[in-house]
Amino acid sequence: MSFVTTPDGTRIFYKDWGAGRPVVLSHGWPLNSDSWEAQQLFLAQSGYRVIAHDRRGHGRSTQAWHGNEMNTYADDLAAVIDHLDLREVTLVGFSTGGGEVARYIGRHGTGRVAQLVLVSAVPPFMLRTEDNPDGVPVEVFDEIRAGSLADRSQQYHDLADGPFFGHNRPGANVSRGVREAFWRQGLQAGHRNAYESIAAFSATDFRPDLDAVDVPALVIHGDDDQVVPYAVGGQASAARIKDARLITYPGAPHGITDTHREQLGRDLLDFLKEYDA
């Protein structure tokens, strides 16, 4: 098993598959790098070196008491990239991981970055505030926090069986295995880590980070995302990032890394090849 140790002693687990120009995958809440396996395997088999890490407090990384916020998440990502001396990287962030890669650019720049991809991602800013009136009301996130404290195991079942994969929509057919994998990964995260990450993904303003993006950017989002609404997430990010391209998956839910795994893999590969052409 491969780890990077950060300055505060946190050990960050990562998978490093394949060879070629590097692609770094950042996962969503409350998951870990296993959630990227379909895309990681596909892209590694397609000629790329693909790295996916477990965020601090998630999966096999240290359940650190502190640092469960975006600045530290971004610095941990920088520790992985620097340790492996990765250059010309394509950063790909799903959901909370989209915030992580955006904040990485805001804090560390694009000196090592060739491309950015946001998938069902939380930027630019999820929370409804006076200057973000179209955001999601804080009561929604308070309910998630309350559910986490009351019975997070059941909460993860409810998310997987409902809005995360769109399994609550008529005609939905998301396998039991996919839904149970979400539950399993969620319970691998530390309780405090997963709880504090709710504030990290919901209340962090990524607008300045997106303004700092000066590399080609692709935004992919389902227009039936019940977790990060399309207008709040993908549509708003694509409008904010200079020259970003938006790919909309009609009728798709939040968890497109599983529900649309083949389509997502193809779209990522096409974008990677544009840089390599």
Q: Is 53 a catalytic residue?
A: no
**Candidate list 26, 61, 95, 197, residue with the active-site label:** 95
Instruction: With both helix axes pointing from N to C terminus, report the angle between 37-45 and 261-276 in degrees, rounded to the nearest 10.
Output: 40
**Candidate list 254, 258, 260, 267, residue with the active-site label:** 254
Q: Is 197 a catalytic residue?
A: no
Hey, what are 37's tokens?
Answer: 């396996």
Q: Could you tell me if 202 and 145 are in contact, meaning their C-beta atoms sit under 8 angstroms apart?
A: no
Q: Is 26 a catalytic residue?
A: no
Write the Ramachandran bin of 171: left for phi over 0, alpha for psi from -120 to 50, otherwise beta. left
Q: Could you tell me if 144 and 198 are in contact, meaning their C-beta atoms sit under 8 angstroms apart?
A: yes
**Candidate list 54, 75, 209, 225, residue with the active-site label:** 225
Dist CA 239 CA 74 (whole Å):
23
Provide CB contacts within 8 A for 203, sequence distance 6+: 126, 127, 141
Give the active site residues: 95, 225, 254
